[in-house]
Amino acid sequence: MADKKALKYRRVLLKMSGEVLMGHQSFGLDAMTINRIAAEIGQLCAAGVEVAIVIGGGNLFRGSQLAALGMERVTGDHMGMLATLMNALAMQDALQKISVDVRVLSALTVDQICEPYIRRRAIRHLEKGRVVICAAGTGNPFFTTDSAASLRAIELEVDALLKATKVDGVYSKDPKRYDDAVKYEHLSYQQVLVDGLQVMDATSIVMCQENEMPLVVFDMTKEGEIVRAVLEDCVGTVIHA
């Protein structure tokens, strides 16, 4: 049995954008990438970490992009939220295949497919060692899955919110364009907001700030990085009060 007391974080919420799931493709899902991520999540569970996940939908649909094409924004956002549910089902499938116990809980009720999101039920699943995938964002249009991630992290009383990106932390400026960009190991929420650093949207940063939810920004494209971010020290950038 894993020694939970020795863990740096006993319960985490992992936020990954839909883009992470498409690997090198420009749309949709990449099975190899999903399976790799599922295996890493499985390692966290085996170490005794309770894992909640919020997945975005940007690899399929975003409300703002559909609105730009002429669709009503609310309809576009509904499609975006359904896209997050599709990604959640793909991740559930990949986890199940490697015998990781998992439940999708959706903020929009789709009774035939998954459970509705109910906070106490989500916590019970986590306590039983099941991975909980929170689908359909907040269930409301005009929000993002970043905001949903902050909301669920706070509600589910996790020890840290892990924001998976394609960069190994937060930089003073775009490291791909500027050689003199400096990587931060630690940052305050205030600095993120004042300097307009691209971490998560402002709503989610403010929610983390008000509820003192530590936020770890790390590179998910590197193999094994999820496990290092949760079980080891100093991966990526840590944002706190």
Q: Measured from the CB atom, is 85 or 100 closer to ligand UDP?
A: 85
Q: Measured from the CB atom, is 7 or 133 closer to ligand UDP?
A: 133
95: amino acid identity, one letter = L
Residues within the interface to ligand UDP (CB under 6 A) = 17-19, 56-58, 62-64, 76-77, 80-81, 83-84, 137-138, 140-141, 143-146, 148
Q: Measured from the CB atom, is 57 or 236 closer to ligand UDP?
A: 57
Rounded to a whole number of angstroms, the minimum distance from the CB of residue 134 to ligand UDP is 10
* Cβ–Cβ < 8 Å for 227, 43: yes
Rounded to a whole number of angstroms, the minimum distance from the CB of residue 48 to ligand UDP is 28
Rounded to a whole number of angstroms, the minimum distance from the CB of residue 21 to ligand UDP is 8
Rounded to a whole number of angstroms, the minimum distance from the CB of residue 169 to ligand UDP is 18
